[in-house]
Amino acid sequence: MEVLHAHCAGLDVHKNMVVACVRHMVDGEVRREVRSFQTVTAELMALSEWLSAEGCTHVVMEATGIYWRPVWHILSDGDCELILANAAHVKNVPGRKTDVNDATWLADLVAHGLVRASFVPDEQTQEMRSFLRTRKQFTRERTSHIQRIQKTLEDANIKLDSVISDVVGESGRRMLEALIGGETEPQALAALASRRIKASPAELEAALRGRVTAHHRFMLRLHLDHVEALDTAIARIDKEVDGNVEPFRQAIQLLSTIPGISTLSAEVMVAEIGVDMARFPSDGHLISWAGLCPRHDESAGKRRSTKLRKGAPWLKTTLVQCAWAAVRVRGSYLRAQFERLRSRRGAKKAICAVAASILTAAYHMLKDGTLYQDLGANYFDNRAKNGHIVRLVNRLKNLGYTVQLTPLQEAA
Protein backbone atom coordinates (compact mmCIF):
# COMPACT_ATOMS: atom_id res chain seq x y z
CA MET A 1 0.00 0.00 0.00
CA GLU A 2 1.28 3.46 -0.91
CA VAL A 3 2.79 5.52 1.89
CA LEU A 4 1.53 9.10 1.79
CA HIS A 5 3.24 10.44 4.90
CA ALA A 6 6.76 9.19 5.51
CA HIS A 7 7.14 10.88 8.90
CA CYS A 8 4.06 10.74 11.12
CA ALA A 9 2.90 9.77 14.59
CA GLY A 10 -0.06 8.19 16.38
CA LEU A 11 -1.14 9.14 19.90
CA ASP A 12 -3.13 6.94 22.26
CA VAL A 13 -4.56 9.50 24.67
CA HIS A 14 -5.73 8.73 28.21
CA LYS A 15 -6.58 10.85 31.22
CA ASN A 16 -3.14 10.68 32.85
CA MET A 17 -0.85 9.53 30.04
CA VAL A 18 -0.22 9.64 26.31
CA VAL A 19 1.47 6.83 24.41
CA ALA A 20 3.10 8.20 21.23
CA CYS A 21 4.44 6.16 18.33
CA VAL A 22 6.62 7.93 15.75
CA ARG A 23 6.78 6.20 12.37
CA HIS A 24 9.46 6.87 9.74
CA MET A 25 9.70 5.41 6.25
CA VAL A 26 13.37 5.60 5.17
CA ASP A 27 14.71 3.82 2.08
CA GLY A 28 11.73 1.45 2.00
CA GLU A 29 12.13 0.44 5.64
CA VAL A 30 9.79 1.33 8.52
CA ARG A 31 11.32 2.54 11.77
CA ARG A 32 9.16 3.09 14.85
CA GLU A 33 9.81 4.54 18.26
CA VAL A 34 7.32 4.54 21.14
CA ARG A 35 7.41 6.80 24.19
CA SER A 36 5.00 7.57 27.03
CA PHE A 37 4.27 11.00 28.46
CA GLN A 38 2.16 12.30 31.33
CA THR A 39 -0.66 14.68 30.48
CA VAL A 40 0.59 17.53 32.67
CA THR A 41 1.55 20.64 30.71
CA ALA A 42 5.33 20.21 31.05
CA GLU A 43 5.17 16.64 29.73
CA LEU A 44 2.93 17.64 26.83
CA MET A 45 5.39 20.38 25.91
CA ALA A 46 8.11 17.72 25.89
CA LEU A 47 5.93 15.59 23.61
CA SER A 48 5.52 18.52 21.21
CA GLU A 49 9.29 19.14 21.15
CA TRP A 50 9.99 15.45 20.51
CA LEU A 51 7.54 15.29 17.60
CA SER A 52 9.10 18.42 16.10
CA ALA A 53 12.61 17.00 16.51
CA GLU A 54 11.53 13.80 14.76
CA GLY A 55 10.19 15.83 11.82
CA CYS A 56 6.62 14.52 12.04
CA THR A 57 4.36 16.16 9.49
CA HIS A 58 1.08 14.50 10.56
CA VAL A 59 -0.08 13.47 14.04
CA VAL A 60 -3.33 11.58 14.66
CA MET A 61 -5.21 10.99 17.91
CA GLU A 62 -8.62 9.58 18.82
CA ALA A 63 -11.48 11.70 20.14
CA THR A 64 -11.52 10.31 23.67
CA GLY A 65 -14.03 12.34 25.69
CA ILE A 66 -12.45 15.58 26.87
CA TYR A 67 -8.93 14.15 27.29
CA TRP A 68 -7.77 14.89 23.75
CA ARG A 69 -8.40 18.63 24.05
CA PRO A 70 -5.39 19.66 26.22
CA VAL A 71 -3.13 17.55 24.01
CA TRP A 72 -4.59 19.19 20.91
CA HIS A 73 -4.24 22.72 22.30
CA ILE A 74 -0.53 22.30 23.06
CA LEU A 75 0.39 20.42 19.88
CA SER A 76 -1.50 22.92 17.71
CA ASP A 77 1.25 25.46 18.40
CA GLY A 78 3.72 23.23 16.54
CA ASP A 79 4.33 22.75 12.82
CA CYS A 80 2.72 19.32 12.38
CA GLU A 81 -0.79 18.81 11.00
CA LEU A 82 -3.14 17.44 13.65
CA ILE A 83 -5.83 14.91 12.78
CA LEU A 84 -8.65 13.98 15.13
CA ALA A 85 -10.06 10.53 14.38
CA ASN A 86 -13.41 9.04 15.29
CA ALA A 87 -12.61 6.06 17.51
CA ALA A 88 -15.30 3.96 15.80
CA HIS A 89 -13.57 4.44 12.43
CA VAL A 90 -10.07 3.33 13.47
CA LYS A 91 -10.73 0.17 15.47
CA ASN A 92 -8.09 -2.56 15.29
CA VAL A 93 -8.62 -6.32 15.11
CA PRO A 94 -10.04 -7.58 18.44
CA GLY A 95 -7.56 -9.26 20.77
CA ARG A 96 -4.64 -6.99 19.90
CA LYS A 97 -5.45 -4.00 22.06
CA THR A 98 -2.70 -2.46 24.14
CA ASP A 99 -1.69 1.17 24.49
CA VAL A 100 1.45 0.59 22.39
CA ASN A 101 -0.47 -1.33 19.73
CA ASP A 102 -3.16 1.37 19.56
CA ALA A 103 -0.57 4.11 19.00
CA THR A 104 1.27 1.98 16.42
CA TRP A 105 -1.97 1.20 14.59
CA LEU A 106 -2.92 4.88 14.40
CA ALA A 107 0.54 5.75 13.06
CA ASP A 108 0.24 3.06 10.36
CA LEU A 109 -3.21 4.26 9.35
CA VAL A 110 -2.22 7.90 9.00
CA ALA A 111 0.93 6.94 7.09
CA HIS A 112 -1.24 5.41 4.36
CA GLY A 113 -3.88 8.17 4.46
CA LEU A 114 -6.58 5.92 5.93
CA VAL A 115 -7.79 8.28 8.66
CA ARG A 116 -10.74 10.56 7.98
CA ALA A 117 -10.28 13.76 9.97
CA SER A 118 -13.11 14.87 12.25
CA PHE A 119 -14.29 18.47 12.23
CA VAL A 120 -12.52 20.57 14.89
CA PRO A 121 -13.67 24.23 14.91
CA ASP A 122 -11.47 27.19 15.70
CA GLU A 123 -11.07 28.46 19.26
CA GLN A 124 -13.75 31.19 19.04
CA THR A 125 -16.30 28.72 17.68
CA GLN A 126 -15.38 26.19 20.37
CA GLU A 127 -16.01 28.79 23.08
CA MET A 128 -19.37 29.71 21.56
CA ARG A 129 -20.23 26.01 21.30
CA SER A 130 -19.35 25.50 24.97
CA PHE A 131 -21.55 28.41 26.07
CA LEU A 132 -24.59 27.28 24.10
CA ARG A 133 -24.26 23.59 24.95
CA THR A 134 -24.10 24.50 28.63
CA ARG A 135 -27.13 26.73 28.15
CA LYS A 136 -29.05 23.84 26.63
CA GLN A 137 -28.08 21.55 29.52
CA PHE A 138 -29.26 24.17 32.02
CA THR A 139 -32.52 24.57 30.11
CA ARG A 140 -33.08 20.82 30.29
CA GLU A 141 -32.35 20.84 34.02
CA ARG A 142 -34.77 23.74 34.46
CA THR A 143 -37.48 21.79 32.65
CA SER A 144 -36.83 18.79 34.90
CA HIS A 145 -37.27 20.90 38.03
CA ILE A 146 -40.49 22.40 36.66
CA GLN A 147 -41.79 18.89 36.09
CA ARG A 148 -40.88 18.01 39.68
CA ILE A 149 -42.82 21.07 40.85
CA GLN A 150 -45.83 19.84 38.87
CA LYS A 151 -45.39 16.39 40.40
CA THR A 152 -45.35 17.86 43.91
CA LEU A 153 -48.46 19.92 43.16
CA GLU A 154 -50.24 16.82 41.86
CA ASP A 155 -49.34 14.97 45.05
CA ALA A 156 -51.00 17.82 46.97
CA ASN A 157 -54.01 17.65 44.58
CA ILE A 158 -53.30 21.15 43.25
CA LYS A 159 -54.18 21.19 39.52
CA LEU A 160 -52.33 24.41 38.73
CA ASP A 161 -50.86 23.21 35.41
CA SER A 162 -54.37 22.40 34.17
CA VAL A 163 -55.50 26.04 34.30
CA ILE A 164 -52.32 28.00 33.46
CA SER A 165 -49.78 27.23 30.76
CA ASP A 166 -46.63 28.05 32.76
CA VAL A 167 -46.52 27.17 36.45
CA VAL A 168 -43.32 29.21 36.93
CA GLY A 169 -44.57 32.22 34.99
CA GLU A 170 -45.58 35.51 36.56
CA SER A 171 -48.91 34.30 37.97
CA GLY A 172 -47.67 30.80 38.71
CA ARG A 173 -44.75 32.04 40.80
CA ARG A 174 -46.97 34.29 42.87
CA MET A 175 -49.24 31.34 43.63
CA LEU A 176 -46.31 29.05 44.40
CA GLU A 177 -44.75 31.60 46.74
CA ALA A 178 -48.10 31.97 48.52
CA LEU A 179 -48.46 28.19 48.85
CA ILE A 180 -44.93 27.92 50.22
CA GLY A 181 -45.69 30.74 52.64
CA GLY A 182 -48.63 28.80 54.09
CA GLU A 183 -51.60 30.24 52.20
CA THR A 184 -54.25 27.56 51.57
CA GLU A 185 -57.43 29.53 50.79
CA PRO A 186 -58.35 28.98 47.10
CA GLN A 187 -59.94 32.43 46.80
CA ALA A 188 -56.79 34.18 48.01
CA LEU A 189 -54.59 32.10 45.71
CA ALA A 190 -56.86 32.66 42.69
CA ALA A 191 -56.75 36.40 43.27
CA LEU A 192 -53.01 36.34 42.52
CA ALA A 193 -53.62 35.33 38.91
CA SER A 194 -53.11 37.81 36.10
CA ARG A 195 -56.11 39.08 34.15
CA ARG A 196 -54.65 37.60 30.99
CA ILE A 197 -55.24 34.04 32.21
CA LYS A 198 -58.11 32.46 30.28
CA ALA A 199 -59.36 30.33 33.17
CA SER A 200 -62.26 31.77 35.14
CA PRO A 201 -61.96 32.54 38.87
CA ALA A 202 -64.17 29.55 39.64
CA GLU A 203 -61.89 27.23 37.66
CA LEU A 204 -58.83 28.65 39.40
CA GLU A 205 -60.37 28.19 42.83
CA ALA A 206 -61.32 24.59 42.05
CA ALA A 207 -57.82 23.83 40.80
CA LEU A 208 -56.14 25.46 43.83
CA ARG A 209 -58.17 23.55 46.43
CA GLY A 210 -55.99 20.75 47.74
CA ARG A 211 -54.10 19.29 50.67
CA VAL A 212 -50.74 21.03 51.01
CA THR A 213 -48.50 19.76 53.82
CA ALA A 214 -45.18 20.99 55.21
CA HIS A 215 -43.43 18.35 53.10
CA HIS A 216 -44.99 19.75 49.93
CA ARG A 217 -43.93 23.30 50.87
CA PHE A 218 -40.36 22.16 51.47
CA MET A 219 -40.17 20.37 48.12
CA LEU A 220 -41.73 23.30 46.25
CA ARG A 221 -39.25 25.72 47.82
CA LEU A 222 -36.34 23.40 46.96
CA HIS A 223 -37.25 23.02 43.29
CA LEU A 224 -38.26 26.65 42.85
CA ASP A 225 -34.88 27.77 44.21
CA HIS A 226 -33.19 25.54 41.63
CA VAL A 227 -35.32 27.05 38.85
CA GLU A 228 -34.40 30.57 39.93
CA ALA A 229 -30.69 29.68 40.13
CA LEU A 230 -30.81 28.18 36.64
CA ASP A 231 -32.63 31.26 35.31
CA THR A 232 -29.79 33.38 36.67
CA ALA A 233 -27.15 31.10 35.14
CA ILE A 234 -28.88 31.12 31.74
CA ALA A 235 -29.07 34.91 31.83
CA ARG A 236 -25.32 35.07 32.56
CA ILE A 237 -24.60 32.77 29.61
CA ASP A 238 -26.78 34.90 27.32
CA LYS A 239 -24.85 37.99 28.39
CA GLU A 240 -21.52 36.26 27.71
CA VAL A 241 -22.72 35.06 24.30
CA ASP A 242 -23.85 38.58 23.38
CA GLY A 243 -20.39 39.85 24.28
CA ASN A 244 -18.64 37.33 22.03
CA VAL A 245 -21.06 37.15 19.10
CA GLU A 246 -19.46 39.86 16.92
CA PRO A 247 -17.37 37.50 14.69
CA PHE A 248 -20.56 35.52 13.97
CA ARG A 249 -23.10 38.35 13.78
CA GLN A 250 -23.45 38.43 10.00
CA ALA A 251 -23.87 34.65 9.79
CA ILE A 252 -26.49 34.69 12.55
CA GLN A 253 -28.44 37.43 10.79
CA LEU A 254 -28.38 35.43 7.56
CA LEU A 255 -29.58 32.21 9.18
CA SER A 256 -32.32 34.05 11.08
CA THR A 257 -34.07 34.73 7.75
CA ILE A 258 -34.90 31.02 7.38
CA PRO A 259 -38.46 30.19 8.55
CA GLY A 260 -38.42 28.58 11.99
CA ILE A 261 -34.91 29.80 12.88
CA SER A 262 -34.77 32.15 15.87
CA THR A 263 -31.71 34.14 16.86
CA LEU A 264 -30.84 31.56 19.53
CA SER A 265 -31.20 28.70 17.04
CA ALA A 266 -29.00 30.55 14.55
CA GLU A 267 -26.36 30.99 17.26
CA VAL A 268 -26.46 27.26 17.99
CA MET A 269 -26.10 26.39 14.30
CA VAL A 270 -23.13 28.72 13.87
CA ALA A 271 -21.51 27.34 17.02
CA GLU A 272 -21.88 23.75 15.79
CA ILE A 273 -20.89 24.09 12.11
CA GLY A 274 -18.89 27.33 12.11
CA VAL A 275 -19.02 29.95 9.38
CA ASP A 276 -16.42 28.51 6.98
CA MET A 277 -18.18 26.01 4.73
CA ALA A 278 -14.98 25.19 2.84
CA ARG A 279 -14.37 22.33 5.28
CA PHE A 280 -17.45 20.56 3.86
CA PRO A 281 -17.03 19.70 0.14
CA SER A 282 -20.79 19.87 -0.45
CA ASP A 283 -24.10 20.29 1.31
CA GLY A 284 -24.47 16.51 1.24
CA HIS A 285 -21.30 16.12 3.32
CA LEU A 286 -22.67 18.56 5.91
CA ILE A 287 -26.01 16.74 6.07
CA SER A 288 -24.21 13.42 6.48
CA TRP A 289 -21.99 14.85 9.23
CA ALA A 290 -25.07 16.12 11.05
CA GLY A 291 -26.70 12.67 10.79
CA LEU A 292 -29.77 13.81 8.85
CA CYS A 293 -29.51 11.40 5.91
CA PRO A 294 -30.28 7.66 5.77
CA ARG A 295 -27.38 5.38 6.60
CA HIS A 296 -25.91 2.92 4.10
CA ASP A 297 -26.20 -0.61 5.50
CA GLU A 298 -26.30 -3.13 2.66
CA SER A 299 -25.25 -6.77 2.46
CA ALA A 300 -25.89 -9.38 -0.26
CA GLY A 301 -27.86 -6.81 -2.22
CA LYS A 302 -30.25 -6.13 0.66
CA ARG A 303 -30.58 -2.83 2.51
CA ARG A 304 -30.76 -3.80 6.16
CA SER A 305 -31.34 -0.41 7.78
CA THR A 306 -31.90 3.20 6.79
CA LYS A 307 -32.12 4.64 10.31
CA LEU A 308 -30.42 7.96 10.87
CA ARG A 309 -26.95 7.88 12.38
CA LYS A 310 -26.22 9.60 15.66
CA GLY A 311 -24.29 12.31 13.83
CA ALA A 312 -24.06 15.65 15.64
CA PRO A 313 -26.73 15.34 18.36
CA TRP A 314 -26.51 18.95 19.56
CA LEU A 315 -27.11 20.26 16.04
CA LYS A 316 -29.67 17.65 15.03
CA THR A 317 -32.02 18.29 17.94
CA THR A 318 -31.94 22.03 17.30
CA LEU A 319 -32.67 21.55 13.59
CA VAL A 320 -35.61 19.26 14.31
CA GLN A 321 -37.08 21.83 16.71
CA CYS A 322 -36.65 24.52 14.06
CA ALA A 323 -38.26 22.26 11.47
CA TRP A 324 -41.39 21.87 13.61
CA ALA A 325 -41.57 25.66 13.87
CA ALA A 326 -40.99 26.09 10.13
CA VAL A 327 -43.82 23.76 9.05
CA ARG A 328 -46.28 26.01 10.89
CA VAL A 329 -45.50 28.89 8.51
CA ARG A 330 -48.29 28.89 5.93
CA GLY A 331 -47.52 29.28 2.25
CA SER A 332 -43.89 28.20 2.62
CA TYR A 333 -41.82 25.62 0.78
CA LEU A 334 -40.90 23.84 4.01
CA ARG A 335 -44.54 23.34 4.96
CA ALA A 336 -45.35 22.06 1.48
CA GLN A 337 -42.43 19.62 1.70
CA PHE A 338 -43.61 18.36 5.09
CA GLU A 339 -47.22 17.85 3.94
CA ARG A 340 -46.05 16.11 0.77
CA LEU A 341 -43.81 13.64 2.63
CA ARG A 342 -45.98 13.05 5.67
CA SER A 343 -48.71 11.36 3.65
CA ARG A 344 -46.22 8.83 2.26
CA ARG A 345 -43.47 8.46 4.84
CA GLY A 346 -44.94 9.59 8.15
CA ALA A 347 -44.39 12.69 10.25
CA LYS A 348 -41.04 11.68 11.78
CA LYS A 349 -39.31 11.08 8.46
CA ALA A 350 -40.96 14.14 6.96
CA ILE A 351 -39.71 16.43 9.73
CA CYS A 352 -36.17 15.05 9.39
CA ALA A 353 -36.34 15.84 5.67
CA VAL A 354 -37.41 19.40 6.48
CA ALA A 355 -34.51 19.69 8.96
CA ALA A 356 -32.13 18.52 6.21
CA SER A 357 -33.57 21.15 3.85
CA ILE A 358 -32.98 23.85 6.47
CA LEU A 359 -29.37 22.73 6.86
CA THR A 360 -28.93 22.65 3.07
CA ALA A 361 -30.16 26.22 2.82
CA ALA A 362 -27.88 27.26 5.70
CA TYR A 363 -24.86 25.71 3.93
CA HIS A 364 -25.38 27.68 0.72
CA MET A 365 -26.26 30.88 2.58
CA LEU A 366 -23.08 30.75 4.64
CA LYS A 367 -21.01 29.73 1.63
CA ASP A 368 -22.35 32.38 -0.76
CA GLY A 369 -23.49 35.06 1.71
CA THR A 370 -27.02 35.16 0.30
CA LEU A 371 -30.38 35.61 2.02
CA TYR A 372 -32.97 32.86 2.22
CA GLN A 373 -35.26 32.67 -0.80
CA ASP A 374 -38.41 30.63 -0.26
CA LEU A 375 -39.42 28.50 -3.25
CA GLY A 376 -43.10 28.83 -2.36
CA ALA A 377 -45.86 26.42 -1.47
CA ASN A 378 -46.56 25.63 -5.15
CA TYR A 379 -43.00 24.55 -5.92
CA PHE A 380 -43.72 20.82 -6.04
CA ASP A 381 -46.91 21.29 -8.06
CA ASN A 382 -45.14 23.46 -10.63
CA ARG A 383 -42.16 21.11 -10.82
CA ALA A 384 -44.33 18.13 -11.76
CA LYS A 385 -47.34 19.89 -13.24
CA ASN A 386 -48.22 17.24 -15.82
CA GLY A 387 -48.11 14.43 -13.30
CA HIS A 388 -50.26 16.43 -10.92
CA ILE A 389 -52.84 17.01 -13.68
CA VAL A 390 -52.98 13.29 -14.44
CA ARG A 391 -53.51 12.44 -10.77
CA LEU A 392 -56.35 14.95 -10.41
CA VAL A 393 -58.05 13.75 -13.60
CA ASN A 394 -57.81 10.14 -12.49
CA ARG A 395 -59.34 11.03 -9.14
CA LEU A 396 -62.31 12.69 -10.86
CA LYS A 397 -62.74 9.67 -13.16
CA ASN A 398 -62.77 7.38 -10.14
CA LEU A 399 -65.60 9.53 -8.74
CA GLY A 400 -67.62 8.94 -11.93
CA TYR A 401 -66.94 12.11 -13.94
CA THR A 402 -65.78 12.61 -17.51
CA VAL A 403 -63.11 15.29 -17.68
CA GLN A 404 -62.20 17.47 -20.65
CA LEU A 405 -59.26 19.82 -20.07
CA THR A 406 -59.26 23.24 -21.74
CA PRO A 407 -56.30 25.59 -21.23
CA LEU A 408 -57.20 29.05 -19.94
CA GLN A 409 -55.62 30.81 -22.95
CA GLU A 410 -57.80 28.90 -25.42
CA ALA A 411 -60.92 29.55 -23.33
CA ALA A 412 -60.23 33.28 -23.49
What are the extents of the domains in the chain? 7-111, 124-244, 248-368, 383-412
Write down the pLDDT at residue 391.
85
Indicate the CATH number for domain 7-111.
3.30.420.10
The pLDDT tens digits along the chain (412 residues) read 789 999 999 999 999 999 999 999 988 899 999 999 999 999 999 999 999 999 999 999 999 889 999 999 999 988 899 999 998 888 887 888 899 999 999 999 999 999 999 889 989 999 999 999 999 999 999 999 999 999 999 999 999 999 998 999 999 999 999 999 999 899 999 999 988 888 899 999 999 999 999 999 999 999 999 999 999 999 999 999 999 999 999 999 999 999 999 999 999 999 999 999 998 999 999 999 999 988 877 788 787 777 888 888 999 999 999 999 999 999 999 999 999 999 888 999 999 999 999 999 999 999 999 999 999 988 887 887 778 788 889 999 999 998 888 877 644 4
Measured CA to CA, the distance from residue 20 to residue 284 in angstroms comes to 35
Write down the pLDDT at residue 411.
43
Write down the pLDDT at residue 409.
66
Write down the pLDDT at residue 412.
41
